[in-house]
Amino acid sequence: MWILSFLLFGSILSRSDAAEIDPKGYVIYCPCMGRFGNQVDQLLGTISFAKGLDRTLVLPPFIDFAKPGKAQMIPFEDVYQPKFLSQYLKVITLTEFKRDIAPTVWPKESRKALCWSPRESFYEKNAPSGCHAKEGNPFGPFWDYAGVDFVDDEFYGKIEGGYDLSTRGAKSAWNEL
């Protein structure tokens, strides 16, 4: 079964008001793995991952499929209160990240999609292999909602253990990616 998720690990720029920017970086992902229960399951795994890397988790919207064929984005803060998660790890809503942080730490010209390994495009058979992060629903609508267009791809399949940060060398490999 083909599963795809995307994470961003922002390189941090030095600036005078660095207190509001996490020097360790950010984790942002598309919760595109099914309906609400699956999205919460993916959120829990991503919370563990971000906590393990000591990075700020960007809280994405939940994706509602109430209208057939059209994914609707429900802001995280309309479902849960981020302040309770902030007692456990560093968090920021996607809205705040887009407005206050992304222009500095993730400028449009350096936005890369991160996926396990390259794959063929579903829609453009002549396109080079890559993440194709915006192909399909809800991937395209999610990243459009986030205001993100990707300029390149990175692949994490080479990291021993994948998301399992308890695997020897995985945490340092993620921090180097």
pLDDT digits (tens, 9 = 90+) for 28-74: 999 988 899 999 999 999 999 999 999 999 999 999 988 777 789 99
Q: Round to the nearest angstrom and report the end-to-end CA distance of the chain.
A: 25
Say if 135 falls within a structural domain: yes
pTM comes to: 0.84
Res 11: pLDDT? 37
**Domain assignment of residue 39, yes or no:** yes
Q: What is the domain range of residue 41? A: 23-176
Whether residue 104 lies inside any domain: the answer is: yes
Identify whether 11 is part of a domain. Answer: no
Question: How does DSSP classify residue 116?
Answer: S
pLDDT value for 71 = 87
Of 170, 163, 122, the closest CA to residue 7 belongs to 163
In a domain, 76, yes or no: yes
Quick check: 146 and 108 in contact, CB under 8 A? no
- Total tally of structural domains belonging to the chain: 1
Q: What is the per-residue pLDDT for 17?
A: 41
98-140: pLDDT as tens digits: 999 999 999 999 999 999 899 999 888 898 999 999 998 899 9
More confident residue, 19 or 161: 161
SS3 102: helix
- Say if 2 falls within a structural domain: no
Domain containing residue 145: CATH number: 3.40.50.11340
Alpha carbon separation from 164 to 14, 80, 113, 170, 177 (Å, rounded): 30, 26, 20, 7, 15
Segment 3-36, tens digit of pLDDT: 333 344 433 333 334 338 999 999 999 998 889 9
Residue 83 resides in a domain: yes
